Amino acid sequence: MSLRLGDVAPDFEADTTKGQIHFHQWLGDSWGLLFSHPADFTPVCTTELGRTALLKGEFEKRNVKVIAVSVDDLESHNRWVPDINEVNDTDVNFPIIADGDRTVATLYDMIHPNASEKATVRSVFVIGPDKKIKLTLTYPASTGRNFNEILRVIDSLQLTANYQVATPADWKDGEDVIVVPAVSTEDAQKKFTKGLTIVKPYLRYTPQPNK
């Protein structure tokens, strides 16, 4: 059975380009972004891992630890990293898991037989500090991920975890948010002191509370 939102992210030990890790211990109190790529020395993956490295400051600002995985071995990863650095003018600053025995790929259901019998699809898992899965995304091997969207979702997840709000379609950090239905309008007017815009009794906007 595939993992669902709210499930505890499976723990594992693995060799990576930054040494051996025990996943839950490595995460600590941070948020985590675990994402798979189909294979080393492939064009789309080279752009994705480079983009992730370039966004290091954005992930750190959000207290997110990033880790990648593929079913290639450590030697292959280490030979590929210089290409990623050269092509993207960056430095791969996060671990890449060597998953030759497919332990992690199997735990996280990253191999879809209809797509490939051996390679992982482009899976994304955002994991909270409670080690529970907050987001899953699956892309086909031919489509590179939008990392601005991943950052946007992390912003929403972190905001809505701490306040009784939800984020509307196409929301970006700093824009108005929606008060959740569980909060009455009377209580919302007291709670959200920046103001309340009532569009419908069930649709009420307020400025982002942590800005």
pLDDT band at 211 (very low <50, low <70, confident <90, very high): confident
- Mind listing the domains of the chain with CATH numbers? 13-145 (3.40.30.10), 163-206 (3.30.1020.10)
Give the per-residue pLDDT at 118. 52
**Given a cut of 60, is residue 45 above it in pLDDT?**
yes
Task: Check if the beta carbon of residue 204 is closer than 8 Å to that of residue 188.
Answer: yes
Give the per-residue pLDDT at 155. 98
**Given a cut of 60, is residue 160 above it in pLDDT?**
yes
Please give the torsion angle defined by the CA atoms of residues 178, 179, 180 and 182, in that order, rounded to the nearest 10 degrees. Answer: -160
* Active-site annotation, residues: 45
Pairing between strand 133-139 and 13-16? unpaired
3-state secondary structure 32-46: EEEEECCCCCCHHHH
Give the per-residue pLDDT at 140. 83
Give the per-residue pLDDT at 112. 58
DSSP-H helix ranges across 99-146: 103-107
Task: Check if the beta carbon of residue 177 is closer than 8 Å to that of residue 208.
Answer: yes
Give the per-residue pLDDT at 130. 98
pLDDT digits (tens, 9 = 90+) for 91-117: 999 999 999 888 998 899 887 555 454
Pairing between strand 19-22 and 122-127? unpaired
- Average pLDDT of the segment spanning 56-81: 96
